[in-house]
Amino acid sequence: MPNHHIDRINDDIRRVLAEKLRQVKDPRLQQGVMLTVTHTDTTSDLRHCKVYLSVLGQYDEKQLMRGLRSASGYLRRELGHSLDLRYTPELTFVLDDSIAHGAYINRLINELDIEHDDNESD
């Protein structure tokens, strides 16, 4: 049963952070990139939360991570105001390149020159 509780908390944290990230005024986070919260992983004691972000566009990874660390206090405070949790977790940001990797694989597949045999039935 506690697993469902953590899953629900993770979904709530992901939803709130996705909304609040758009409101951050740090220029390091507004360098023409699109940030998407793909997943959150909160510990069972609610003390720590890993936030997985997908970034689309050209960006400087070091500057982006500095901007996220700088905004983490604001995001944590807003998270505490939005959600009624016993503890507001410390946020750790991790870049998730799975969406960009999937788009790259999809582009490679689309570029393949495969002849289709009309006589074969699948």
pLDDT tens digits, 42-101: 999 999 999 999 887 788 889 989 999 999 999 999 999 999 888 899 999 999 887 778
> How are beta strands 48-56 and 34-42 bridged, if at all?
antiparallel
Give the pLDDT score at 119: 63
Give the pLDDT score at 31: 72
Give the pLDDT score at 116: 64
Check residues 31 and 11 and name the one with the higher pLDDT.
11
Distance CA 22, CA 93 (A): 16
pTM over 0.75: yes
Give the pLDDT score at 66: 93
CATH class of 2-111: alpha beta
Q: Distances in Å between the alpha carbon of 105 and those of 58, 101, 102?
A: 19, 6, 5
